[in-house]
Amino acid sequence: MADVAQAFVPGHVTGFFTTEPDSDPTKAGSRGCGIALSDGVTVTVQPADATSVALNGEEISMGAVERVLDALDVTAAVRGVTDLPLGSGFGVSGAMALGTALGANTAFDRRLSRNELVTIAHGAEVQAGTGLGDVVAQAQGGVTIRLEAGGPHTNVLDAIPARRRVEYHVIGGLATEEVLNGNTDTISMAGKKALSDVVEDPTLNRFMRASREFARESSLLTTRVRDVILDVNKIGGTATMAMLGKTVIALDTGLSDAGYDPQVSKVYPTGAALEPAQRQ
């Protein structure tokens, strides 16, 4: 025990979602659908006298991570390394929370099950107000359909079985907390419609179409994001907005073909996992 432990958590872009509040943060969350990305966050947890959190070498404050450490009753140095931008809809805070839970469980020999750790990370992210559905989708990987909200003890998950190249183009950030603290009725109504579309036809193409309709109907679509999506549509590609960020995601070479210089990633088919221990 008291060793260093490391976990990799895929990034996650949400196409559409509902908000499902509950007084119990492990039951609260969202329904919806999104794509786990091969770009993710490598999280290292090491016991320390005082807790500190850093992302790409820079000390930051991250409510979800601190809550996870509190729940496990440990103090640790948590270090995240990623190519993904923070606050642009890639689930970086969810990845940090989940990676911290998986890493701390091993580093401190906490002997919790995987569901318990995912529950802690999900509840921490909900309480911190930084996400509603990323953690459970990042734990499963692939293109997760969240049929019922909450942590592993209450949610119902399915997935679109597909591998595909995914490109993304980041325009800027959106504050998840602000959107989630506003009136979310319109969002949830649009999210329910999109979810029923994808359940009827669980394919990536339908996911992209349902996500575009959701972005428009939820009024979350910004003008600049819309313009980029239209550029991709013009050359016959398919693109949508990553929730919640001013980010455009496209399948295949949609953004490249439209003349952008996107980041290139792909569907990461599997979920968050500990990295192999050097010795155990």
Alpha-carbon distance of 20 to 172, in angstroms, equals 26
Residue found under tokens 């013009």? 234
Which one of 56, 163, 219, 227 is in contact with a second copy (CB under 8 A)?
163
Residue 62: HSE in the Cβ half-sphere, 13 Å Cα cutoff: 30
Q: Is 270 in the site for a second copy (CB under 8 A)?
A: yes
Which of residues 158 and 217 has its CB atom nearest to a second copy in the complex? Answer: 158
Q: Which stretch binds a second copy (CB under 8 A): 67-75, 184-192, 235-243, 262-270?
A: 262-270
Token readout for 92 is: 């970086």
Q: Does 32 bind a second copy (CB under 8 A)?
A: no
* 196 binding a second copy? (CB under 8 A): no
4 forms part of the interface with a second copy (CB under 8 A): no
Residue 216 binds to a second copy (criterion: CB under 8 A): no
Single residue of 161, 181, 189, 196 touching a second copy by CB under 8 A: 161
Backbone angles phi, psi at 127, to 5 degrees: -65, -35
Rounded to a whole number of angstroms, the minimum distance from the CB of residue 145 to a second copy is 7
Examine residue 266 and tell whether it contacts a second copy (CB under 8 A). Answer: yes
CB-nearer residue toward a second copy: 34 or 87: 34
- Contact predicate 101/70, CB 8 Å: no
Q: Does 124 bind a second copy (CB under 8 A)?
A: no
Among 54, 77, 81, 112, binds a second copy (CB under 8 A): 112
Q: Give least dist CB 161 to a second copy, A.
A: 5
Which lies closer to a second copy via its Cβ, residue 72 or residue 187? 72
Q: Which residues contact 158 (CB under 8 A, 6 or more apart)?
A: 144, 145, 147, 199, 202
203 binds a second copy (CB under 8 A): yes
How would you write 140-163 as a 3-class SS string? Answer: HCCEEEEEECCCCCCCEEEEECCC
Decide: 151 and 116 in contact? Cβ < 8 Å: no
Inter-axis angle of helices 63-71 and 114-128, nearest 10:
140
Stretch of 46-54, 55-63, 201-209, 235-243 lying at the interface with a second copy (CB under 8 A): 201-209
Query: What is d(CA 202, CA 94) in angstroms, rounded to the nearest whole number?
Result: 25
3 binds a second copy (CB under 8 A): no
**Of the candidate residues 62, 160, 190, 195, the single one contacting a second copy (CB under 8 A):** 160
Q: Which residues contact 127 (CB under 8 A, 6 or more apart)?
A: 25, 63, 64, 67
Binding test (CB under 8 A) with a second copy, winner from 21, 47, 129, 202: 202
Q: At what angle do helices 92-107 and 63-71 cross, to 10 degrees?
A: 20
From 27, 30, 33, 118, select the one nearest 71 (Cα to Cα): 118
Binding positions for a second copy, rule: CB under 8 A: 102, 105-106, 111-115, 117, 141-142, 145, 152, 158-164, 199, 201-203, 252, 266, 269-271, 273-277, 280
